[in-house]
Amino acid sequence: MAYEIFTKKTPRMGNPVMSFSKIGQITFNQTASRILQKATIENVLLMWDSTEGKMAIKSTGNKKDPRAYRLRYNEKGNGASFSAKTFLDYSGIDYAERRPIPIDLNPDNEMFLEVKIPTECLKGKAKPKLVGVG
């Protein structure tokens, strides 16, 4: 029997990365969570631009805002996440398979994250097909 080397699906990266988990959570890797935790970001608002296929995350100090999501930091300091299944369903983001998305965080701004969601992460978005001419 021959051995096969296992390839990790989500590589460890030194750059901030966001992904959507199979259970409908938005997750941040260790690098991103350290940036967010240092900026003491605890509650966030999610925004969706359906025209551009972009999402944004805005920090809020209002814990009682019914639209706010509470960001949970892992005890070991190796990531952060929050449940966002209804948002992911609303925006048509496919979270059946975890896909890392590189992000730029700007914790000094109220809207600290703005990212274009890759087409392959959107449900119902047909990939362009090549059509032969002639």
Tokens of 70: 């509470």
Question: What is the rounded CA–CA span in Å between residue 133 and residue 129?
Answer: 13
Domain ranges of the chain: 17-121
Q: Is it the case that residue 131 has pLDDT exceeding 60?
A: no
Q: What does the mean pLDDT of the chain come to?
A: 88
pLDDT level of residue 126 (50, 70, 90 thresholds): very low
Question: What is the rounded CA–CA span in Å between residue 13 and residue 15?
Answer: 5
pLDDT 10s digits, 81-112: 999 999 999 999 999 999 899 999 998 888 99
pTM for the whole structure: 0.81
Which pLDDT belongs to residue 130? 53
